[in-house]
């Protein structure tokens, strides 16, 4: 029997469907120090962002020779040493289509929250403070949204922002995208200079460090907003706090952090920050789609 280990949770109907097809599914989170040994007993591991599948774990699994497939339920695979796993003959797959709409909507939610002080006024009112005159916000209609990275999530966000009356510009490592003629392509520095809102949709590459650091924040428009629903590490958190404190940025929407759970209390308690605990894909609809994609990957692999 093919055994599947689900470490970070999975939509319940998807698990039922796998079991109905004769797969054995074990739902259990294992600490890093014992995960490699446990993988000697499984053909597939399904992870989200909490479980890290690094070289030592891959080595133990590869030595046993049973593990054939690692699936990331979500888009980013930076918690998996992908190239190393493939060198060891283990396939790595993700579910890039399932959560695009959910992450795009969260980015938009942060934009609204910052623009109209939903984040901080919600807190102050619960403290009995009526700061009506203090919260003079801005409309997003008529503003320019700069998308850093133009993949599936950015495409979803671009459509939604355009419908709300925003001008969308984008940059991408591959250059101008063929099917994005309705939006203007520009280089990163130009995008940062022109955008009222900058939303990041790029992976974190440890060797390259933060894509948005002090130099990039200095280039941005005075009073602009920064949204990161991509990956922790793509923004220098220290430089971000400095930009918020100085008023260079009017606000930041942050769903992902360098360390998770984050211990950066200055950032999460900053009055100019709208913050969420890495919930970009945490919608019922996205979880159903992720489950369906995982099922398809497993079926196709073992058919």
Could you tell me how far CA 5 lies from the centroid of its own chain? 23
CA-closest candidate to residue 2, choices 17, 16, 27, 22: 22
Q: pLDDT grade, residue 274 (50/70/90)?
A: very high
Q: What is the structure's pLDDT at 303?
A: 83
Q: For residue 67, what are its two tokens? A: 């593990």
Q: Which residues are catalytic?
A: 231, 260, 278
Cα separations in angstroms, 55 against 71, 73, 74, 84, 248: 16, 20, 21, 7, 41
Cα separations in angstroms, 186 against 40, 85, 152, 170: 48, 36, 18, 6
CA dihedral 193, 195, 201, 205 (to 10 degrees): 10
Q: Per residue in 67-119, pLDDT tens?
A: 999 999 988 888 999 999 999 999 999 998 899 999 999 999 999 999 999 99
Q: pLDDT grade, residue 207 (50/70/90)?
A: confident
Q: pLDDT grade, residue 217 (50/70/90)?
A: very high
Q: Domains of the chain (ranges plus CATH)? A: 3-96+283-302 (3.40.50.720), 100-275 (3.40.50.720)
Q: For residue 145, what are its two tokens? A: 């949204």
* Mean per-residue pLDDT, 231-235: 95
Say whether pTM exceeds 0.85: yes
Q: Per residue in 113-167, pLDDT tens?
A: 999 999 999 999 999 999 999 999 999 999 999 999 999 999 999 999 999 999 9
Q: Alpha-carbon distance 62 to 255, whole Å?
A: 34
Q: What is the structure's pLDDT at 76?
A: 82
């Amino acid at each position: 029997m093919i055994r599947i280990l689900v470490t970070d949770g999975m939509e319940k109907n998807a698990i039922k469907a796998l079991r109905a097809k004769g797969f054995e599914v074990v739902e259990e989170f294992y600490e890093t120090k014992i995960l490699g040994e446990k993988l000697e007993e499984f053909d597939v591991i399904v992870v989200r962002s909490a479980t890290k599948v690094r070289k030592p774990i891959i080595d133990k699994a590869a030595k046993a020779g049973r593990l054939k497939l690692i699936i990331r339920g979500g888009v980013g695979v930076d918690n998996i040493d992908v190239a190393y796993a493939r060198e060891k003959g283990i396939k790595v797959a993700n579910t890039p289509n399932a959560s695009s709409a959910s992450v795009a909507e969260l980015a938009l939610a942060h934009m609204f929250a910052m623009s109209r002080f939903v984040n901080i006024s919600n807190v102050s009112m619960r403290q009995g403070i009526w700061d009506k005159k203090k919260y003079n916000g801005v409309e997003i209609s008529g503003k320019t949204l700069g998308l850093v990275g133009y993949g599936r999530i950015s495409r979803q966000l671009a459509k939604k922002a355009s419908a709300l009356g925003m001008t969308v510009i984008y940059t991408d490592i591959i250059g101008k995208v063929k099917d994005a003629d309705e939006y203007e392509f520009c280089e990163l520095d130009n995008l940062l200079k022109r955008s009222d809102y900058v939303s990041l949709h790029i992976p974190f590459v440890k060797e390259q460090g933060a894509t948005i650091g002090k130099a990039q924040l200095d280039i941005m428009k005075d009073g602009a907003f920064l949204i990161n629903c991509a990956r922790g590490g793509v923004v220098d958190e220290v430089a971000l706090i400095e930009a918020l404190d100085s008023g260079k940025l009017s606000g930041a929407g942050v769903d992902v952090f360098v360390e998770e759970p984050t211990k950066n209390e200055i950032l999460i308690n900053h009055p100019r920050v709208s913050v969420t605990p890495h919930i970009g894909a945490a919608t019922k609809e996205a979880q159903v789609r992720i489950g369906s994609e995982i099922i398809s990957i497993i079926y196709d692999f073992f058919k």
